[in-house]
Amino acid sequence: MMLHIPQVLSPEQVADCRRLLQQAPWADGRSTAGFQSAMAKDNLQLPEDCAEARQIGALILQALERNPLFIAAALPSRIFPPLFNCYQGGQSFGIHVDNAIRTERGSGERIRTDLSATLFFTAPDEYDGGELVVEDTYGAHSVKLPAGDMILYPSTSLHQVMPVTRGARVCSFFWMQSMVRDDGQRSLLFDLDTGIQRINQELGAEHAASVQLTGVYHNLLRRWAL
């Protein structure tokens, strides 16, 4: 399931983050890529332990904790600390699949990458190209979102970033280990949760249908959660 999550960060938060990113120590992005990805990757990236990355990453994680759409879709167990990249001057990232396991620098803890996320800091009219193209069973989907918005998609997906031919594309990217490992099961739970919320709005949370379906939701989550 791919999901567009709007306004994860407010315009004011985006502006503050961009000021920090402008003064940050950007480096060659291939230094953090796996063997296969390094052959396809051409971008700039912030060092994971730099002050700007830690400060903006903490802001993103706080925003996600307060975002009900993200929580319902991802059912996050653990989130890898957000990373940051910049594409400009024809840079791109060829088609690839993200590493199945990521190791947190410092703690050494490993996270299974069930879901990938890209949060945009630059508006679509600020650069040409730079589309995130994600492939699934229904074909290729091109993504280029407003600043502050985020795309969430299964980490099993083949994806790429098209060349940026004008301006600069600046984003945060990171991964999640979900409480529900299977993407199909997560999608069913998300659809069920969405339906329950609609019933609650139209009929009230105490309606028999809402009570029954809420029970089904939690029993499925109990069965599928790891």
Whether residue 19 is annotated as binding a ligand: the answer is no
Q: For the chain, how many structural domains are there in total?
A: 2
Local confidence pLDDT in tens for the 226 residues of the chain: 999 999 999 999 999 999 999 999 999 987 666 556 667 899 999 999 999 999 999 999 999 999 999 999 999 999 999 999 999 999 999 999 999 999 998 889 999 999 999 999 999 999 999 999 999 988 999 999 999 999 999 999 999 999 999 999 999 999 999 999 999 999 999 999 999 999 999 999 999 999 999 999 999 999 999 9
CATH of the domain at 219: 4.10.860
Whether residue 207 is annotated as binding a ligand: the answer is no
pLDDT at position 24: 96
Q: CA distances (Å), 66 to each of 61, 63, 70, 71, 206, in order?
A: 9, 5, 9, 8, 25
Chain CA centroid to CA 8, Å: 11
What's the pTM?
0.94
Q: Are residues 23 and 84 in the same domain?
A: yes
Q: Are residues 54 and 158 in the same domain?
A: yes
Q: What is the DSSP letter of 148?
A: T
Q: Are residues 36 and 75 in the same domain?
A: yes
Strands (DSSP E) contained in 123-184 are 128-129, 132-136, 139-143, 150-154, 159-161, 164-166, 168-178
Phi, psi at 92, each rounded to 5°: -155, 175
Whether residue 169 is annotated as binding a ligand: the answer is yes
Q: Are residues 123 and 152 in the same domain?
A: yes
User: Which residue range forms the structural domain that includes residue 143?
Assistant: 3-178
Residue 155 CB neighbour total at 10 angstroms:
21
CATH of the domain at 157: 2.60.120.620
Q: Are residues 60 and 167 in the same domain?
A: yes
Contact indicator for 144, 130 with CB cutoff of 8 Å: yes
Q: Are residues 111 and 214 in the same domain?
A: no
Whether residue 159 is annotated as binding a ligand: the answer is yes
Token pair 């009929």 is found at 203
pLDDT at position 144: 98
Distance CA 82, CA 52 (A): 11
Query: Of 161, 178, 195, at which residue does a domain stop?
Result: 178
Q: Are residues 206 and 99 in the same domain?
A: no
Residue 178 CB neighbour total at 10 angstroms:
24
